[in-house]
Copies of this chain bind each other. A is one copy, B any other.
Amino acid sequence: MTRIKKNPSQRVSIEDVAKLAGVSTATVSRVINKIGSVRGKNKAKVLDAIKQLKFEPSVFAQRLATGRSNVIALVIPRYEGVFYSFYALELIRGVGTLCAAFKLDLLLSLTDVRSSLNLRGVDGVIFADIIGNRHQVEDIISKNIPCVVINHYIDDLNVNCIAIDNAGGAQEAVNYLITLGHKKIAHITGDLVTQAASFRLEGYKRALRKNNIKIDPRYIFNTNYSRGQARLAADRLLRMSDPPTAVFVASDSMALEVMAVAKEMGKDVPRDISIVGFDDNPSGLYGPVALSTVRQPLIKMAEDSVKELHRLMTEKKETQVKKIILPTELVIRESCRPLGSTR
């Protein structure tokens, strides 16, 4: 049974190149991959043939033959508001930039938490956040595919992770408020299903505790990071009979919403209430008053994750798993005032 070429797309193959250059496919392969040594003359002929034929090696054939793909996946769990979160784009930006630098292809997976994601054929994966999709990570680990988890500190899994010091950052923010003389400090949380949000809550509590301020549950408002829920929380908070004098909000975009609500109710920031956000979202600069916030090194985290993954993918030797926590930085602007002063 003889078969005609299946592929009618006139794809030029390595064989065509070899023929035109008058060498074997092996030699062509060598010059393509810059492996082994090829006589200058032959090399030139091959290069020439490649150019003439506009040859481009088939990635599939390469991948099938080598078992390597040079593709990494960035898995971002989809949850309400992740797309309004500033955070996602920063991550994509950081990861995307370094992928280009390392000549890695980037597969973007905006997964549903429960979906069993399709990561077949990927050489490595970066998990951004683990919310309910821990099984995906375990799956990848069990398959021995290099991976690194970012924005989530995992202790009980043998995996590299790079996280942000959310608890520390939150604590510093609240400490700052306390230093200004505030005692009645509220907290609007993010979605506590994310580690970032729950650690920020933890940092908030820790700061209070260390300063012997009682934690008042009425001052803690849970949200899902959305502006809508922030608005609700702000509304309730500002109408309390014994309202807080300051509030630490788990994201800048929510903090801006709080500011907006305050304004609508005729309250002044920071005179009537001091606000600290989290993210260092540029939008924070353009409100009626510049937002004080906690800056987190998102880009660095993203970039480091690619570097680390790349190392994992190229270095053969098993290295100790690294758990890294990146520090945050308090950015003081205009949204807080010392209690008792008139600013």
Contacts and interface: CB of A to CB of B under 8 A. Distances in A.
Contact of A107 (B105, B115, B256): B105
A93 interface: yes
A343 interface: no
A109 B71 CA distance: 12
A89 B108 CA distance: 12
A121 interface: yes
Contact of A287 (B67, B96, B118, B287): B287
A132 B93 CA distance: 21
B120 A110 contact: no
A105 to B, nearest CB: 6
A306 B189 CA distance: 36
Nearest to A94: B83
B105 A118 contact: yes
A57 B112 CA distance: 22
Contact of A97 (B56, B93, B106, B110): B110
Contact of A110 (B96, B253, B283): B96
B108 A92 contact: yes
B283 A120 contact: no
Nearest to A89: B89
For this chain, the copies found in one complex come to 2
Interface string A109-148: 1111001001011000000000000000000000010000
A111 to B, nearest CB: 8
Given A89-B89, A144-B9, A56 B108 contact: no
B58 A121 contact: yes
B120 A58 contact: yes
A59 interface: yes
A100 interface: yes
B110 A108 contact: no
Contact of A286 (B110, B120, B257): B257
Contacts of A89: 83, 88-89, 92
A285 B118 CA distance: 38
A60 interface: yes
A239 interface: no
A229 to B, nearest CB: 15
A59 B56 CA distance: 20
A342 interface: no
A307 interface: no
Contacts of A240: none
The list of the 6 closest CB pairs from A to B, nearest first, reads: A59-B121, A60-B64, A60-B63, A96-B110, A256-B286, A283-B283
Given A58-B120, A60-B63, A100-B110, 8 more contacts: A59-B120, A59-B121, A83-B93, A105-B107, A106-B109, A107-B107, A108-B108, A256-B286
18 contacts: A6-B67, A7-B67, A58-B120, A58-B121, A59-B121, A64-B64, A88-B89, A89-B89, A89-B92, A100-B111, A105-B107, A106-B107, A107-B108, A108-B108, A256-B283, A257-B286, A260-B286, A288-B288
